[in-house]
Chain A
Amino acid sequence: MQGMMTVFWKELADDFTSKRFVILFLVVLLAVGFAIFISVQAIDALKEAVTTGTHFVFLMLFVPPIDLPFFMRFIFFIAFLVPLIGIALGFDAINGEKSSGTLSRLLAQPIYRDSVINGKFLAGVVTIAIMLTSIVLLVSGIGLNIIGVAPTAEEVLRLMAFIAIGTVYGAFWLGLAMLFSIFFQRVATSALASIGVWIFFFFYVLMFAGIIASFVAPVGETQLSQLQNAEVQIMLMRLSPIQLFEESATFVLGPEAITKMQYLQLQAQAASKFFTPAPLSFGQSLMIVWPHLVSLVALTVICFAISYAKFMREEIRST
């Protein structure tokens, strides 16, 4: 425990002062700034809605209730960039210390080997959490100034839930990057492997999901076939941590937002006249998000289990 905390504090300092983190953080700020600019304009256009008070006005800063291409949305930027930060913080965690020759000395100290992995992981997770928190605070500050509406208690809760989900999401990528840093001896290889997985989930899963779904459940004339096709597609996409994050973040931040699948479900229900549109309560949102979160945690745990199995008994030779 002592050992883990020592590693944690050192790594935390390293993470925050590392150039790669500073660079990525600036990139994130730029993207978020852009998203907020769009939101603020949208909210201006929706002034009456704002004043009627039936909406989560403050959350509109993050999830503007307008038709936007997906790549201009706040949640997309976070979904896109947080993996890069997780990877940047973890891709050389172990093999970097191997090639610099410090791992030998580190593991010759009277500490358990897992305290090295745990300490580094924890430091990365805390870094990601702090980063997300400061982004949310920054946006909130700007928002407060511009739209002049304070967040309600529920909105604060939802924002906190968003930070938690984002941190879990980042933790997965960090865990994955650290896993590669244990498996590959060369830093360049582990970095590429992590980026490869990121690209795979980001682009290929979407493509494959569409293709596979059109085979398994081809879209026909009926609404039911459309629904089934969408369901298959969504199921496949949920294999991707990116999809898990995007969906849960959307549910938590945008109680009124609906996913493609829900939209179709709602349409189907509307056809049978059971449809009553109402925003989801915080509890309901969490209920929907819960399995997603569990999946993300499970993926992270799998990365960790494999990392342990490999690292705990590995030979540490400084070459």
Chain B
Amino acid sequence: MSKEPVIEAIELTKTYNGLKAVDKLNLRIEEGEIFGFLGPNGSGKTTSILMMLGLTEPTSGTARVCGYNSTREPLKVKNLAGYIPENVGFYDDLTTGYNLAYMARLSDIPEGVIKQRIEEVLDTVGLKGMAYRKVGEFSRGMRQRLAIADVLMRMPKVAFLDEPTAGIDPRGIRQTLDLIARIAKENKMTIIMSSHQLAQVQRICTHVGIMQKGKMVVQGLISQLGREFLGGGRFKIEVRLAGVAAAILEAIKQVKGVVKVDRPEENLLVISSRDDVRSQIAKVIVDNNGLLEQMNVVSYALEDIYMKYSVED
């Protein structure tokens, strides 16, 4: 508990006409983390983000950003935080440059640096030379990039990104998220990002939390969750044999690094291990006169974890 969290939610609750949109959310996000905020539609992600930014008042509980209370000191919070809202919008009949400059002026960026910053950030998000185009002419994906450019103008300490990749094509999603990850790393920026792109979240996020009906059902380091999902080990190895003798089973359990062995089917073993022990297992099987048909390492996907925790009722 030595380090102060950048984003902190304590028993954060929001009720709309008796319906608990967010229910006692507790959250700690530390500096430099990229937190993937997952959950089905209507599970309360956007509502949580709004409360943390001071754009709506919590029914109870507190949200803090860098130690500042989001409800009582919203200006301090907004000084530190960048935000891409769910359905991001721009002044369509104004130019890209004007849109960026307007928000920059509002956040007190000196007039002298604004112009140069605009060129830089547009270049960074792949909209080079578009400063004089009207935003009304932009496609959905271009707007999304512009939204990221808008956040980059200020280079905030914390960024709240509500579905920043909605409407971007697959290659664009990859590029955008890589960009976000790179910038976060270079600038020690802390990011909380809601998304439905599980594979991408797995790729760039360090931590994830899954919301379900306003409650955070699982939360932690992405690698840790994966390990839990794989049954305690880091690797899951599937072995298919012509026939499984008790001796083989015992021998495999003795292999160093193996945590657990399951036998979901007659001829299928699922081995959870701390290391990649495929060659040792192969040797054990051969030594015990087993006939190895197939062996492969199963990697977990965030999607599996997601499906496990976000159950429908």
Interface check A290, CB cutoff 8 A: no
B107 at the interface (CB under 8 A from A): yes
Within 8 A of B (CB), among A302-319: 313, 315-319
Tell whether, in the assembled complex, residue B89 and residue A315 are in contact, meaning their CB atoms are under 8 Å apart.
Answer: no
Q: Which residues of A contact B86 (CB under 8 A)?
A: 317-319
Complexed CA–CA distance, A316 and B54 (Å):
9
A105-B75 contact in complex given A110-B108, A316-B50, C-beta closer than 8 Å: no
CB distance from B74 to the nearest CB of A (A): 9
CB of B296 within 8 Å of the partner chain: no
Is there a chain A Cβ closer than 8 Å to B53's Cβ?
Answer: yes
Q: Which residues of B contact A317 (CB under 8 A)?
A: 46, 50, 55-56, 86
Does A107 sit within 8 A of B, measured CB to CB? yes
Residue of A110, A111, A317, A319 with most partner-chain B CB within 10 A: A110
Cβ of A104 under 8 Å from chain B: yes
At the interface, yes or no: B138 with Cβ under 8 Å from chain A?
no
What is the total number of residues of chain B having a CB less than 8 Å from a CB of chain A?
28
Listed in ascending order, the chain A residues whose CB lies under 8 Å from chain B are 2-3, 6-7, 10, 100-102, 104-112, 313, 315-319
Contact B90 A102 (CB under 8 A): yes
A6 touches which one: B55, B56, B88, B102 (CB < 8 A)?
Answer: B102
24 A-B residue contacts at CB 8 Å? Answer: A6-B102, A6-B106, A10-B102, A101-B87, A101-B89, A102-B90, A104-B83, A104-B85, A105-B85, A105-B103, A108-B78, A108-B82, A109-B106, A109-B107, A110-B78, A110-B106, A110-B108, A111-B106, A316-B50, A316-B56, A317-B46, A317-B50, A317-B86, A318-B85
Q: Which of B50, B87, B106 contacts A315 (CB 8 A)?
A: B50
Q: How far is the CA of A316 from the CA of B51 in the complex (A)?
A: 10
The complex places the Cα of A10 from the Cα of B150 at a distance, in Å, of 17
User: Residues of A contacting B87 with CB < 8 Å?
Assistant: 101, 318-319
- The docked-state distance in angstroms from the alpha carbon of A107 to that of B55 is 8
Q: Report the minimal beta-carbon distance from B81 to chain A, rounded to whole angstroms.
A: 7
A10: B residues at CB distance < 8 A: 102
Give complex CA distance A109, B109 in Å: 11
Residues of A within 8 A of B55 (CB): 104, 107-108, 315-317
* Closest 4 A/B residue pairs (Cβ): A101-B89, A104-B85, A315-B56, A109-B106
Give the chain A neighbours of B81 by CB distance below 8 A. 108
Contact of A102 among B53, B57, B91, B105 (CB under 8 A): B91
> In the complex, which residues 82-141 of chain B have their Cβ closer than 8 Å to any Cβ of chain A?
82-83, 85-92, 102-103, 105-108
B280 in the interface (beta carbon within 8 A): no
Nearest residue (CB) in B for A113 is B74
Report how far A112 CA is from B103 CA in the complex, Å.
14
Looking at A108, A109, A110, A318, the one whose CB has the most chain B CB atoms below 10 A away is A108
Q: A2-B108, A315-B50, A318-B89 are in contact. Are A109 and B78 (CB under 8 A)?
A: yes
Contacts of B103 in A (CB 8 A): 105-106, 109
- B138-161 vs A, CB cutoff 8 Å, 1 = contact: the mask equals 000000000000100000000000
CB of A225, distance to nearest CB on chain B (Å): 57
Cα–Cα distance between A274 and B76 once the two chains are bound (Å): 69
Nearest Cβ distance between residue B107 and chain A, in whole angstroms? 5
What is the CA–CA distance of A318 and B55 in the complex, to the nearest angstrom?
Answer: 11
Min distance, Cβ B75 to any Cβ of chain A, angstroms: 5
